[in-house]
A and B are shown apart, each in its own frame.
Chain A
Amino acid sequence: GENVEQHPSTLSVQEGDSAVIKCTYSDSASNYFPWYKQELGKGPQLIIDIRSNVGEKKDQRIAVTLNKTAKHFSLHITETQPEDSAVYFCAASNGLTGGGNKLTFGTGTQLKVEL
């Protein structure tokens, strides 16, 4: 089955700096890669996703890049703000026809944005 590795496990940055979180996956059939933000006591919130037919996607301060050859993808957050502090999870799935695209998650990155 799929295996997703994520690093770093913790990341501390100064407000306004950029943050980068990296993930690798093992299953070359995986074609959908979402990123989730989880705040304490809440469920994961989808913040951005990318499919294997593109190499980069950007949404305001958040961007994701995908390298299919190397089987790795990254989350980039620019101009970090204190409210970006949370645990971030990457995930991968093989989107099957009809659904059933169960997600395999990384182990999470605790991001702390310091004033």
Chain B
Amino acid sequence: GAGVSQSPRYKVAKRGQDVALRCDPISGHVSLFWYQQALGQGPEFLTYFQNEAQLDKSGLPSDRFFAERPEGSVSTLKIQRTQQEDSAVYLCASSPPGAGVRNEQFFGPGTRLTVL
């Protein structure tokens, strides 16, 4: 079956612009995660959804970052007034249902954001 898909794959924004990054999780996966991966580093947690509920947003670096998943499927990560330090790969992952038993997270290819 299809894996996690993300769009766009590449995004170039001028400093101060707003951007929206989309994630389509694996069908049936109720859990969805966003991570930020700086060049040469491991992914860092941003936020987590269970269905449409955003249960953890402790990793969002500032109030310029906003995520939503209104129907419990597709998710959008929005960054307002982008800054150069926002340049990174943004990864989305989804996880199958199964409370505390099946923890596997499956990642999409990521969106590479470059802020000029």
Contacts and interface: CB of A to CB of B under 8 A. Distances in A.
B48 A102 contact: yes
A44 B45 contact: no
Interface residues of A, number: 30
B42 A43 contact: no
Given A102-B45, A104-B45, A32 B103 contact: yes
Interface in B79-105: 91, 95, 97, 99-101, 103-105
B2 interface: no
B103 A95 contact: yes
Interface string B28-46: 0011010100001111110
Interface in A25-60: 32, 34, 36, 41-46, 49, 51
Given A42-B109, A44-B91, A99-B31, A93 B41 contact: no
A99 B42 contact: no
B100 A106 contact: no
Given A99-B50, A102-B56, A108-B40, 13 more contacts: A32-B103, A34-B103, A43-B109, A44-B43, A45-B107, A46-B107, A95-B101, A96-B100, A99-B48, A100-B50, A101-B95, A101-B105, A105-B42
CB-CB nearest 5 A-B residue pairs: A105-B42, A43-B107, A102-B45, A99-B31, A32-B103
Interface of B: 4, 30-31, 33, 35, 40-45, 48, 50, 55-56, 59, 91, 95, 97, 99-101, 103-110
